[in-house]
Structure 1
Amino acid sequence: MEYDVVIVGGGPSGLASAIRLKQLANAAGRELSVCLLEKGSEIGAHILSGAVFEPKALSELIPDWKEKGAPLNTPAADDHFLFLTETESIELPTPPQMKNHGNYIISLGNLCRWLGAQAEELGVEIYPGFAAAEVLYDETGAVKGVATGNVGTGKHGDKEGEPGMELWARQTIFAEGCRGSLTKTLFERFDLRKDSDPQTYGIGIKELWEVPAAQHSAGRITHTVGWPMDTATYGGSFLYHLENNQVVVGFVVGLDYQNPYLSPFEEFQRFKTHPAIKKTLQGGRRISYGARALSEGGIQSLPKLTFPGGVLVGDTAGFLNVPKIKGSHAAIKSGSLAAEAVFELLSSEAAGREATSYPARFKQSWLYDELWKVRNIRPSFRWGLWPAMIYGALDTYLFRGRAPWTLRHKHADHETLQEASQCARIDYPKPDGKISFDRLSSVFLSNTNHSEDQPPHLKLKDKSVPVAVNLKRYAGPETRYCPAGVYEFVGEPDAPRLQINAQNCVHCKTCDIKDPTQNINWVTPEGGGGPNYPNM
């Protein structure tokens, strides 16, 4: 199937790209065929975000979003920023980047469903349940599209499955989200990261609760730092009050942590037992659960955004404002900018396959200025919590984001893990089934499902490494950094082996990022597999 543009991914950046392309084509009276592939069972099925949403980029893309019924229903009200000790909470001044007047507490999944409807009204062809599994190249080496994965080949490749479909395009927009499986291959083929810092990531874990009305205050926003993290480990939480007595509670842990005994999932469960948080959840009902990695490197970790035949947008490139704890507005803006560059290229009679005006458009936009001003905040946390907060205040109030230096990210996250012999074990409390829970009951709430008779989408480059290296030197960290119980060591104590429960995978990509030997490769499962997040 041939199109002018193929878009890989139905998140906010991919949908914004599709909408903007069609807007430009319609305004110019031109026919432009645009196809969008989404690996989830529907648009929004795999979308997970906090989310307090800044509507600036949406207002630029669709100025009449209110009249069209965009699901921005809960205006942000009061902001709170807390420092937690094990038993106490201390309210601190809210940093200016975290003030949310004019923003909305939303379900990003529901916003993407609405954006999908807007795109289809403009004539975009959207195919949910189709996972792009391979990048296609032409005889010159330029990207010419993608191929979807084969279906029905059997778990051990013992059946002849249906071959995937090739989708050819004049330009392909990769909007895969954090740690895109195809984007990784583009980094290598076109050396897109040669002039950027290593990307650094966090894992965000989130639950949606329905709480008693007396404990609910629509629009309230609370962020915390401190306990249960130690001061050397980057992390923090969010608690947002939606409409209908619903709250979202979540925790983010930087994946540059050092102790292999640390479990982001267990830290999140422990965090909810703090008196300042428990008082909101007590007597409530947990509705949904999910987890997703996010790109935290900022502007110095952005790769080259273009290559022959395509571009990168959204979190697959790393457009996230860490101090704001927001990336959706940046995803929409980057998608819109890329669409304008791609449309310009396709409308030009000049030779060339690369949308080179995209980086220039980005540098001239408010998004570049926003990300440039906060570039030094996240890397300062390598000094520890208190030095980073002091530096952040100086950078914000004294230098106003324009310090004459840029702090660098020096290591990839998988390089920071220390060996178990150098670290203290962490004893986590057992879940009580009321506020804190185990992994498997949590995964159940994510509605995760994969066809069990398919090749596993979590690939080991060397099957001996998990026991010989990870278990021996790092105490098997994959059993703790995975928030879904995918990895477990089974068998006799003198003959352990790694068992991969791929059917539990919520597609967070943490294993692909944090595995100390980079032995785990996350690839797309059959289309439609994975979580089905409602209202997340």
Structure 2
Amino acid sequence: MINKKKYLYENINYDIIIIGAGPSGISCAIKLKQLSIFFNLKLSICVIEKSKFISSNIISGAIFNTKYLKELLPNWKFKNLLFKNKVKLDLIYYLTRLNYYKIPNIIIPKNLKNKNKYIISLSKFIIWLSKEAKKLNIEIFESIAAKKIVYKNNKVIYIKTNEFNINKYKIPNKNFFCGIKIYFNNLILAEGAKGFLTEKIILKYNLNKNKNSQNYSLGIKELWKIKNKNYNKGLILHTFGWPLNKKIYSGGFLYNMENNIISVGYIISLSYKNPYISPYDEFQKFKLHPLINKFLENGKCISYGARVINLGDLNSIPKLNFNNIIIIGCSAGFLNSSSLKGIHTSIKSGIIAAEYIIYKKINKKKKINNIFKKTWLYKELYNAKNHKIFMIKGFYLGILLLIINKIFYNKKNNLKYKKYDYKMINLSNFENKIKYKKYNNINTFSKSSSLIFSNLKYNDNQPSHLKFKNKKYLNINYNLYNKIEERYCPANVYEYINKNLQINFQNCLHCKTCSIKDPKQNIKWTPCEGGNGPNYLNM
């Protein structure tokens, strides 16, 4: 164990600390700096990012509507060369096992139409955005994982970051560094869906009181380099139907990016009931469909990743601030699930937080919720507020309920929903086993093979960031849910050897599925050493 008296933390101070360098975190930092310059305020701002490089852990579709970017950077058109790949053809298909049927454009809801939006790499976008932040003298610390929040008189006063160079027995190695204590006036949490510190803050201050449950999907994605004959720049496909049945909210996508690269992925709600479902294997199955397979033919997989996504629900968003803490982006659940979009909503949430802090600095007393309710973001999420609750019930029933809700209630009703994803799973005895095909190593791969494309980096001798809370639950999962851990994880982290469950933490993609779907909530996820984990390229 570490002798804490022997080592001294380095202490630093900032006015504002933002944890997470995704769209919401970087946008918040930029808007804070812009407003502080406008009002002649001196603010020191620091963004902390646990990944090795800015964007190393970023993964998204992604389709982006640039009209919202001008709120953050009015002159972005003269600065950015990323937005070159405009959506030219936007198609939605219903899939059966062997066939596909194009949905007529006339019946597709407006919020699902993407023509003239842009197909982007969110990784590249975040790299560009961080460069704009640095031009404003915003400091960004990479490879720094925030581990612990320290309180005084019910107020957060500083955070501790992770140690470096410590072995699995918690004995310091030669170049051991015990971390940093970072003091601040305001803390902004922008960790993404199921954020580690965000969850602790919400629990401690009961910020989700009288709120709907947060529910999640798991998104699994690959990048492929494909042949010229299969490539159609500007074409995007969305699918529903096969391979999962009508009772499960799920769907696929395929985006033609630049330079013969396609992004192909599958999203499945973690509210599924059958413990034999493997989201990873459903994605592999999806790639075999004739509609998708024809794009992949003679191509090559070059990147693989997975991450949970908020299902989005206005009534699931927790109280956004408490004392000197603010929650933004996917940490709070700012995602419009009815349009399958979250980048623009995250950016706007960061802008709202910045405006709230500056209003306080110039002695204008405004509540953050009041600022939020006057924005287009609130209106957009209000119009989609019951979408999650209906769609979790299954695709067809969900569509029917949405139509009834729109006709008879005009979206005015606030439905309550308190069913967490882990409570939805049935015992294995009550569900049918699912037998998945063997991988062909052409366009379907084992989990171990896919992880090669995730550029994982871990020090094998470091402490595991995944632990079991109570070992007695392991027998329950083994006997009642038939080794469910092996199936819900898309990275082969959990492996039964005989009847003993082993954690291969070196395989972890930081997707957070285990902390959401485990039936007994028996997985304790903590940040690993900064800079460790997946290092995605252009995801």
Tell me the TM-score range normalised by the shorter chain.
Answer: over 0.9
TM-score by length of 1: 0.95
Quick one: distance in 2 between partners of 1:395 and 1:439? 41
Give the drift of 1:395: 4.8
Quick one: distance in 2 between partners of 1:190 and 1:346? 24
Q: Deviations over 1:119-142 (max 9, x none)?
A: 01001010000001111222x211
- Equivalence for 1:218: 233
In structure 2, do the counterparts of structure 1 residues 70 and 23 end up closer, same or farther at CA, with 3 Å as the change threshold? Answer: farther
Given that 1:8 and 1:176 are in contact with CA atoms closer than 8 Å, whether structure 2 keeps it comes out as: yes
Q: Which of 146, 157, 163 is residue 159 of structure 2 equivalent to?
A: 146
- Equivalence for 1:318: 333
- Equivalence for 1:501: 504
Matches within 5 A, 1:55-454: 55-93=66-104, 94-138=108-152, 140-159=153-172, 161-348=176-363, 357-395=367-405, 398=407, 402-454=410-462
Quick one: distance in 1 between partners of 2:367 and 2:137? 25
Q: Deviations over 1:446-487 (max 9, x none)?
A: 101111121110121112322x11111111111111111000
Given that 2:212 and 2:417 are in contact with CA atoms closer than 8 Å, whether structure 1 keeps it comes out as: yes
Q: Deviations over 1:348-395 (max 9, x none)?
A: 398xxxxx6221111110001001101122211243321222333455
Does residue 65 of structure 2 align to residue 54 of structure 1?
yes
Give the drift of 1:410: 2.9
> Counterpart amino acid of 1:319?
F
Given that 1:373 and 1:402 are in contact with CA atoms closer than 8 Å, whether structure 2 keeps it comes out as: no
Structure 1 unaligned spans of 5+ = 351-355
Q: The residue matched to 2:14 in structure 1 has which SS?
A: strand
Given that 2:222 and 2:304 are in contact with CA atoms closer than 8 Å, whether structure 1 keeps it comes out as: yes
User: Identity rate of aligned residues, in percent?
Assistant: 39
Q: The residue matched to 1:152 in structure 2 has which SS?
A: strand
> Counterpart amino acid of 2:492?
G
In structure 2, do the counterparts of structure 1 residues 58 and 408 end up closer, same or farther at CA, with 3 Å as the change threshold? Answer: same
Given that 2:249 and 2:393 are in contact with CA atoms closer than 8 Å, whether structure 1 keeps it comes out as: no
Structure 2 unaligned spans of 5+ = 1-11
Give the number of equivalent residue pairs. 523
Please identify, of 507-516 and 375-384, the stretch whose mean Cα deviation from structure 2 is larger. Answer: 375-384
Give the drift of 1:79: 1.2
- Equivalence for 2:513: 510
Quick one: distance in 2 between partners of 1:517 and 1:387? 29
Given that 2:222 and 2:265 are in contact with CA atoms closer than 8 Å, whether structure 1 keeps it comes out as: yes
Q: Which of 525, 528, 532 is residue 529 of structure 1 equivalent to?
A: 532
> Counterpart amino acid of 1:14?
G
Given that 1:232 and 1:385 are in contact with CA atoms closer than 8 Å, whether structure 2 keeps it comes out as: yes
Query: RMSD in angstroms over aligned alpha carbons?
Result: 1.5
Q: Deviations over 1:407-451 (max 9, x none)?
A: 332300010010001110000111111111110111110101111
Given that 2:287 and 2:443 are in contact with CA atoms closer than 8 Å, whether structure 1 keeps it comes out as: yes
Q: Deviations over 1:497-532 (max 9, x none)?
A: 110000110100000111110110111000001111
Quick one: distance in 2 between partners of 1:242 and 1:206? 14
TM-score by length of 2: 0.94
Give the drift of 1:404: 2.9
- Equivalence for 2:523: 520
Q: Which of 44, 54, 74 is residue 43 of structure 1 equivalent to?
A: 54
Q: Deviations over 1:126-163 (max 9, x none)?
A: 0000001111222x211123210112221121336421
Give the drift of 1:303: 0.6
Given that 1:198 and 1:297 are in contact with CA atoms closer than 8 Å, whether structure 2 keeps it comes out as: no
Q: Deviations over 1:293-323 (max 9, x none)?
A: 0111411111111011110000000000112
